[in-house]
Structure 1
Amino acid sequence: MSYETVVGYFKEVGRDEDILQFNSSSATVEQAAAVLQVIPARIAKTLSFRGQDEEALLIVAAGDTKIDNKKFKTTFNVKPRMLDAETVVEKTGHPVGGVCPFALATAMPIYLDISLQRFTTVFPAAGSRNSAIELTPEELYTYAQAIQWVDVCKEWDTSLT
């Protein structure tokens, strides 16, 4: 149902035809990059964390990044702890490997990492382990209804565009 929910969400804004569905898995950054024939950094991975008061939050970051524990704690005033797979599905409505910031099962804050701003377009998942949609970072921000851009990642290649 998750994929169908995301398609419905994008249908409301006239972008459902832009969702890509694949015959093979795009569940990991590497798989998605291979299927889309793009560099892994352009995959917009959605990461699920526990925020303050145990509330869930999502961070969408470039595929070549890792969470920087110090930056995360400074930004959110809590040590980064990822949600377990069962909680991810419960909170987002999307399966691990298809988690995206669209059409969520429960409302939660969504943040976009500045690592995505290097690219003209990026590819977040679309609610399944074999789908994606190509969006500009600004479109991603809008459609995800993000709260703000944050700087919570490390190890990304600033020379890539």
Structure 2
Amino acid sequence: MAIEKVRDYFSQWNLDARIQEFETSSATVELAAQALGCAPERIAKTLSFKLEKKCVLVVTAGDAKIDNAKFKAHFKTKAKMLTPDEVDRYIGHGIGGVCPFAVNDDVDVYLDHSLKRFETVFPACGSSNSAIELTIDELEKYSNSVAWSDVCKNWQLQA
């Protein structure tokens, strides 16, 4: 189960106890915000995309939307999300629990600038009913992100 992979991953730094599991689903931004009792924009949603030769994850704030023009300028290709069947196979986590931790080796993680306005955010932990609160520095460190990106829109309107 993917949450166990994430729990094992965080145990390297004794952070596994910070993982929260809920009785209800946290598979969407809205459900996660309800389960955590936080604003939806503080949910760090992880989106999975197929590039020509690999897959990438883009972690964004809950209120951000992918801007197709910015995505194409950054990645040199059109934004094409993975299908539900491809997500588990290529990323290592299923829909609703996709997160930037303990992913398959050939997956690059990018963090979107929409996250930088928060002290802490809540990414999922490999299941559709889990999350962990991390500072932005912790998110950057533990996600093994390749780089920060600016591929989203609409979140500036909420700031």
Q: What band does the TM-score fall into relative to the shorter chain? A: over 0.9
Instruction: Give the Å deviation of 1:105.
Output: 2.9
CA distance in 2, matches of 1:80, 1:60: 14
Structure 1, residues 2-24: CA drift from partner, whole Å, max 9, x if none? 00000000001110010000000
SS in structure 2 at match of 1:118: coil
AA matched with 1:130: N
How far has the Cα of 1:159 moved from its partner? Answer: 5.4
1:36 to 2:36 alignment:
yes
Distance 2:78 2:57 in 1: 14
TM-score, normalised to structure 2, is 0.97
TM-score, reference length from structure 1: 0.96
Aligned residue for 2:22?
22
Preserved contact between residue 19 and residue 125 of structure 2 (Cα < 8 Å): yes
**CA shift digits 1:58-110 (9 cap, x unpaired):** 00000001000000000000000000011100012111000001011342111
Deviation at 1:158, TM superposition (A): 5.4
| Contact 2:55/2:106 (8 A) holds in 1 | no
Q: The residue matched to 1:122 in structure 2 has which SS? A: strand
Fraction of identical pairs, as percent = 52
Supply the distance in 1 between the matched residues of 2:25 and 2:156 (Cα, whole angstroms): 25
Deviation (angstroms), 1:54: 3.8
SS in 1 for 2:116: helix
Paired with 1:159 and 1:28, the residues of 2 have a C-alpha distance of 19
SS at match of 1:109: strand
| Contact 1:118–1:158 (CA under 8 A) maintained in structure 2 | no
RMSD of the alignment, in Å? 1.0
Unmatched segments (≥5 aa) in structure 2: none
The one-letter amino acid paired with 2:30 is E
- Kept in 2: contact 1:64–1:157 (CA 8 A): no
CA contact (8 A) 1:91 1:106 kept: no
Which 4+ stretches in 1 moved above 6 angstroms?
Answer: none
- Report if aligned partners of 1:24, 1:35 keep a CA contact under 8 Å in 2: yes
Contact 1:61 1:114 in 2 (8 A): yes
Matching of residues 4-153 of structure 1 within 5 Å: 4-51=4-51, 53-153=52-152
